């Protein structure tokens, strides 16, 4: 189940993340970064400024690597340390919807958002780099804390794609 897509203008927000390149068949390596990034913040006494996110730079497949970052928005900028990279969630207009349910079914929500945008002539903020599509702002924000709600069938994940005119 998903919410209706909408356009939402967002302010730029500082963040920290850990980049990784991983195929779907090894997705556990990406998920293993979640406690690492939160532990990094906790060790430094830095409070998250928003929910955990996965930022997709390049979309892969079962055997083709995704280029992504596992990160957390912050209220104020901080310095990274090499492994944990300081950055920003870009500001601008996003097409947004919320996926309710197991993350394994999130592709259905991607399809809803992408079809909605196609019908409206909306273009994404992407570039071609060496024949691959690189996204400037394609995010999944995990709104449900698994420590509080362990059943993934009840989770909510916000999908946000930065628009080309952003």
- Domain extents for the chain? 6-162
Section 152-166 average pLDDT: 93
**Topology of the domain covering 6-162:** Multidrug-efflux Transporter 1 Regulator Bmrr; Chain A (3.20.80)
- The secondary structure element, H or E, covering residue 16 is strand 13-22
pLDDT, tens digit (0-9, with 9 covering 90-100), for 103-126 = 999 999 999 999 999 999 999 999
Beta-carbon contacts of 75 under 8 Å, excluding residues fewer than 6 positions away, are 14, 47, 49
Report the chain's mean pLDDT, rounded to a whole number.
Answer: 96
Phi, psi angle pair for 89, to nearest 5°:
-90, 115
**Cα separation of 70 and 22, whole Å?**
12
Mean pLDDT of 129-145: 96
Determine which helix (DSSP H) or strand (DSSP E) holds 86, and give its type and residue range.
strand 85-89
- pTM greater than 0.85 (yes/no): yes
Task: Evaluate if residue 63 carries a pLDDT over 60.
Answer: yes
């Amino acid at each position: 189940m998903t919410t209706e897509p909408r356009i939402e203008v967002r302010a730029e927000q500082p963040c920290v993340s850990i980049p990784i390149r991983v195929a779907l068949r090894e997705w556990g390596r990406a998920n293993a970064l979640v406690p690492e990034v939160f532990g990094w913040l906790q060790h430094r006494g830095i409070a998250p400024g928003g929910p955990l996110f996965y930022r997709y730079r390049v979309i892969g497949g079962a055997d083709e690597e995704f280029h992504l970052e596992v990160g957390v928005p912050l209220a104020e900028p901080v310095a990274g340390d090499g492994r944990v990279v300081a950055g920003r969630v870009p500001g601008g207009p996003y097409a947004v919807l919320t996926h309710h349910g197991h993350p394994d079914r999130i592709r259905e929500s991607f399809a809803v958002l992408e079809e909605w945008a196609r019908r409206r002539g909306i273009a994404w903020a992407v570039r071609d780099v060496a024949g691959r599509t690189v996204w400037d702002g394609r995010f999944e924000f995990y709104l449900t804390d698994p420590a509080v709600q362990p059943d993934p069938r009840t989770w909510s994940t916000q999908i946000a794609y930065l628009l080309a005119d952003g």
